[in-house]
Amino acid sequence: MQDAQPPAESREPESTPPPFDAPATPSLMEAPKTSAELLPPTVVATAPPPPPPPPEAPAAAPAPAAPIAAVAAPEKGRWWAVFSHLLLFAAIPTIFLGGVLTFFLWQLAGKNDGFVEDQAREALNFQINVALLSLVLAGTLIGLPLVIVLWVVACVVCLVAARHASRGERYRYPVILRVVTH
């Protein structure tokens, strides 16, 4: 006898839902999608940003300001200003001789030339500061070796000031007390 087997049913294989990230297949009953709907949301086309405005005509750049230190000093006045700075070399060994000479130069040559007057007054202030600081350091035993260092630094700064004065530039010594004014 034949074993009774249940009749073979024509079964369709069970459909499994599509994976989470797989796109769903459109059914025939749905309306066709636009191209914006078919693209992923991050790629949706948007209107391009407006172009930047055309560059305007470049404005004329302002002329660079002339340095404050630049002066149209006459040649003779420049050399008197250089000489007033270099009188520090007479002030170092004698303490006050260079200052006295600078004072007379300031009073005599500075009357006719504003550049000489300004630079001689600045040199005189520097020489007074160096002389007073030298006396204070020499008065203390600890500061006595620093007097030599002070003089070397003063000579270097004096040469820098003389170079600026030779080019007709007003020079200001850094970190000094301006004892002598107009």
Which of 179, 73, 78, 79 has the alpha carbon at shortest distance from 130? 179
Residue 49 has pLDDT above 70, yes or no: yes
Confidence bin at 164 (pLDDT 50/70/90): very high
Strand partners, 70: 169
Three-state DSSP at 169 gives strand
Among the listed ranges 65-69, 84-88, 106-110, 154-158, which one has the minimum average pLDDT value? 65-69
| pLDDT score, position 35 | 57
Query: Tell me, what amino acid is at 10?
Result: S
Residue 154 has pLDDT above 90, yes or no: yes
Q: Which two tokens stand for residue 128?
A: 């007074």
Query: Cβ neighbours of residue 17 under 8 Å, at least 6 residues apart?
Result: none
Residue 163 has pLDDT above 50, yes or no: yes
| pLDDT score, position 113 | 87
Q: Is the pTM of this model over 0.75?
A: no
Task: For the chain, give the percent of residues with pLDDT over 70.
Answer: 63
| pLDDT score, position 65 | 45
| pLDDT score, position 92 | 78
Domain boundaries, the chain: 75-166
First and final C-alpha spacing in the chain: 140
More confident residue, 176 or 70: 176
